[in-house]
Each structure stands twice: as C-alpha cells, then as structure tokens.
Amino acid sequence: MSEQLRAPIVTILGHVDHGKTTLLDFIRKTSVAAREHGGITQAIGAYQTEAGGKKITFIDTPGHAAFEKMRSRGAQVADIAVLVVAIDDGIMPQTVEAIKHIKGAKIPMIVALNKIDLPGVDVKVQTEKIKKQLSDQEVLIEEYGGDTPLVPVSAKSGLGVEDLLETINLVAEINEFKGDPSKPASGVIIEAKIDKFKGPIATVLIRDGSLNKGDMIKAGEAQGKVRGMFDWTGKMADSAGPSVPVEVLGFVTVPAVGAKLGEEAERSDEGKAMRSLIDKLKEGDKQILTVVVKADNQGSLEAIVDMIQKFNTDEEHVRIVSSGTGEVTDSDVEIAASTKAIVLAFNVGIKPSANKIAETENVLVRTYNIIYELIEELEDVVEGIIRPGKVEEVFGRAQIIAEFPYGKSEKIAGCHVAEGTISKGPKVRVVRGEEIIGEGKIKMLKKVKEEVTKVEKGMECGMMFDPPIDFQIGDIVESFRLL
C-alpha cells in the first residue's frame, strides 16, 4: 500500500492561564458529544476530533518543557502548533518560550487569539497590539505578509473554534501530511505510567505504519508485546494507523516519554559524566535543597525534573534524591526524612500512613496542581540559597476576608486559605501589599466552631494572633519557617 494523507497532529502551547486547557477541553467535549459517548473513560494525553469530515489529532502535552523534551530526543511530535494568546494579556514570557519551541520544531504555527468575548476589552485595539508583538518575535501573520494564520476564538464559549479547526485543516492540506498503514508502526511515547492492576501503560502516538494487537514492541530501553490497546474514548482497538493515539498494555517496563517506537535508546557516557559531576558537587560544605519528586504521570515528572535541573547550571542548588509517579508513599517520606529532603507532589495525593510519618518525622510535603507554581516556589528558595542570608519556606497563604471582635480588646481574623496549609506552630506574618504589618504565632485556629491544628487550601477559618496584630480585611497571612 502506498502513502496516503493522514490526520494532522496538533499541539497547543502558550502562556499559563491563557486558555490552552479550556480550548482543549471544549474541543474534546464537542468530540465526545458528536460521537454520542457518555464521556471519556480515561485520559491518555491525546485524542481525535473531526471537522469538515476530516480527522484532527490533538496531543495534550503537560507543558513546554515536556514538548521540548520529546523534540530534543529526536521525536517528531506534532505536525502543527497552535499558539494560544489571551487578548487581554498579549505576548507573555511563556508565549515567547512557546514560540522558540515551535520554531525549533520547524512546524507550521497558527495563532489562536483567545478570550475575544472578555468584557471591557477593546478587541480591535488589542488585536493590532498583539500583531505587532508577534512581529517583534519574528512571527508574521498573513495580513502582514507572513504565513501564520491568526484566528480569534473564545475557548470558554466556543466562539471561533470551528474556524480554528477549519484553519488547521487548511494548513494540513497545504503541507500534505502522509503515512503508509501497511508499514510497521513508528511513533513516539507521549505518556507513560504504572497502573497497580495493569502494570506499565504507555500512550503511543502512531506517526506512520500500523500497530496491531500481538505485535512485539520496543521504545528506548523498554520492550514487550501488545496485549491490549484502547483509543482515546476508552474503547478497545485491534489496530491503530497513522496519526492515531492509543494506550498500549504490554511493556515490561515503563518507557520514557519521548522515546521513539521501534528504536533502542542511544548509549552514551552522559549518565556517567552527570553522576561524577554530582559526586564532585557533593564534596565540600554546600547549602543544597534536597527534594523527593512525585507526579501523576511520566510526562509531568520529566517536565518537572528538567525544570529543576535548570537551577543547577552553574553549580548544584537543588538535588533530587528520589522521583517517581503515583501518590506519595511511606517510602517516599522515609527517604525524605533520612536525607533531610522536602517532598514535592504534583497532581497526586499522599497516603494517610505517609502523612502520619511526615508529621512524626517533621517532613514537609508540598502539593501543587500547576507546574509553574512549583517552579516559582523553588526559584524563591534557590534565590535565598544563592543570596547570603536566611532562606525561608512558606507553608501557606490565606486572605483575611472578615473581622470579628473577641473579648475586650482582641479580634479574630476570618480567613480563606488560598495556598498550601495554615497550621498552629509555625510562625505567621500579616502582609499588606509589600509591607509586613506584624509577625507572631497562631494563638487559636478554628474551622466553623471547632478548634483545629491545621486548615487546608480552599477552606475558611478563624485565627487569633499572639502577639495581637492590627490586621485589616484584604491583608494576607503567611505561614512560614526559616530553613
């Protein structure tokens, strides 16, 4: 069988909070409704939709770093990139980063100008401003004589999304992406994890050829035999052709994200060189932050690890003593306790037994839902390590939303916990703007009418300070310790 046109593979990149996830979710939900499925039974990091009778494959990478990691391994991940830019913010630092990744991948770009229905925004003025900002980044849209289409959309309402899909089809037609279903499968691993019931599971994006149930497979150092395949809706599949993403059961070990299907990992002395470098950095009296990293999947884990390694460009500031996927376990906390490390958990929970060990051993466990929040907090700690002086760790932040009199002269601060955990024990400070109003400890902490020792993110509570602090509604309470 000769080559034939295949569905374009599309990735969506852009600045955090500009609407990448909302756009993907809208397209995904529309696709589910069109296929009359009750809903997606599993998230495999990729899915297909249909526009104008033609299929489009979207890959949902967990950030620019993961996309770049796949590309750096020589894996051609996507055919087309959609750059999401919010009309109210314009070009932001991570937008610039995304543009660099897209140019590095040498794939066509489409700009999705998002949030065009945002109240109070002058769409015409902002659009012209963003076109100029894009040209400053050497991205010329079509009306400026370039070859980059710009499509106004609202990811929230779906306005313009159909136009975006049509534009993707048009770019695909011009580039004529092809594949041959009769060939053995070639592709890339875009997600990988261990399921406690099924064992190693990997999402494979087939770029050419076909993968069939019963085929022998290998990707990097992982290999096995296809025991089962599932499409993005959770339905079983016996075969997957060009541009089709499938979740594959049968690997003996978890393959690396970005590993190419059908190819063995390249052997080099890079690992030995890295180990000897770290051994050298361990020598002498250095102030280093040690961490245990846990993430929801292999893609997220690699993205976080890569970002952390960037802190160690000149010398080692952050040392990863253990990393893996899945919830935080007893073993993770015990490793952290023995190495005086903190646990960074992304999109995963902590076992109750592990939580008890953390409290007993005084191990700090920080949880995050957004990668960039995790990295920003690490940046603050590293900055403190580099800069002479004290380094501090912030456990949680709460906003004061109400004030209640207590006794003759004291008052209770009614608070909403916005980040992390607020607990009795650590020091707290009340911040107004950039000014510290006062410091002390929590004398009393109540949730509803019950006195408690800690309050988690998203909850409301009342607190009294010792010594009393003259707070106001709108002030921020920060719980912290000096490292």
Q: Could you tell me the two tokens for 125?
A: 């003025």
Tell me what pLDDT residue 83 has.
Answer: 94
Tell me what pLDDT residue 389 has.
Answer: 45
Greater confidence (414 vs 275) lies with 414
For residue 165, pLDDT over 90 is answered with yes
**Residues, the chain:** 483
Tell me what pLDDT residue 39 has.
Answer: 39
Q: How far is 196 from 62, CA to CA, in rounded Å?
A: 22
Tell me what pLDDT residue 103 has.
Answer: 84
Greater confidence (441 vs 274) lies with 441
Q: Are 436 and 412 in contact (CB under 8 A)?
A: no
Banded model confidence at residue 477, pLDDT cuts 50, 70, 90? very high
Q: Looking at residues 201-209, what average pLDDT do you find?
A: 92
Instruction: Return the closest-CA partner of residue 368 out of 14, 84, 64, 16.
Output: 16
Task: Match 């529309």 to its residue by tokens.
Answer: 30
For residue 245, pLDDT over 70 is answered with yes
pLDDT of 449-460, one tens digit each?
Answer: 888 888 988 899
Domains and CATH numbers, the chain: 4-178 (3.40.50.300), 186-251 (2.40.30.10), 287-386 (3.40.50.10050), 392-482 (2.40.30.10)
pLDDT of 318-363, one tens digit each?
Answer: 889 899 999 999 889 888 887 878 889 998 989 888 888 887 777 8
pLDDT of 267-287, one tens digit each?
Answer: 433 333 333 323 333 333 456
For residue 14, pLDDT over 50 is answered with yes
For residue 251, pLDDT over 60 is answered with yes
* CA–CA–CA angle 339, 200, 191 (5° rounding): 85
Tell me what pLDDT residue 272 has.
Answer: 37
Lowest mean pLDDT among 25-39, 112-126, 213-227: 25-39
Q: How far is 376 from 236, CA to CA, in rounded Å?
A: 41
